[in-house]
Structure 1
């Protein structure tokens, strides 16, 4: 069963219509990006764009429900509540990191 899942990801999840190969990020990849946002090493917009490319692209079939949920959350990290404030504050980002951290 596990081999079928891995093969399915390779065949269906990584090749775009134009033939380019794009690998799905792992949950840890996304958590690292969130941590880099917290220490101002990455901009929220950059991380949101990174996640959104997987959420908005119909060529991907993300079968890991936790990964899909985190991709959707991260794709909205740059939403603003007002011109000067983000909808999600640093506490939200820390909560997401804690929630999705695999032990």
Structure 2
């Protein structure tokens, strides 16, 4: 299984456009975590492993709620994280 900057950007953009749910994004990231735990995850490019791992952790937590109708990470948090990823990969 391969994880790329392009795929992280795609997932976050699709989430912001409501093309996928927070739950779907979280499950996607959880599956990547399991692949990493089993030594089956390849980071591309390899030198961006740290930001890619940070993205997995952030995305995996996007379905967490502070209250039944309030997410821990709001839309602004997602946009700021996406910008952070973009800045780190220039």
TM-score by length of 2: 0.80
Question: Aligned partners of 1:37 and 1:82: how far apart in 2?
Answer: 20
Q: Which has the higher contact order (CA 8 A, sep 6+)?
A: 2
User: In the comparison of the two structures, how many residue pairs are matched?
Assistant: 81
Deviations 1:2-40 (A, max 9, x none): xxxxxxxxxxxxxxxxxxxxx222122012111111111
Greater CA drift, 54-63 or 43-52: 54-63
Equivalences for residues 24-103 of structure 1 within 5 A: 24-57=2-35, 58-60=37-39, 64-101=49-86, 102-103=89-90
- Ranges in structure 1 where 5+ consecutive residues have no aligned partner: 1-22
Greater CA drift, 29-38 or 85-94: 29-38
Higher helix content, 1 or 2: 2
Higher strand content, 1 or 2: 2
- Ranges in structure 2 where 5+ consecutive residues have no aligned partner: none
TM-score by length of 1: 0.71
Helix, strand or coil at the partner of 1:81: strand
CA RMSD of aligned residues (A): 1.6
Deviation at residue 66 of structure 1 after TM alignment: 1.2
- Runs (4 or more) in structure 1 with deviation over 4 Å come to none
Structure whose CA Rg is larger: 1
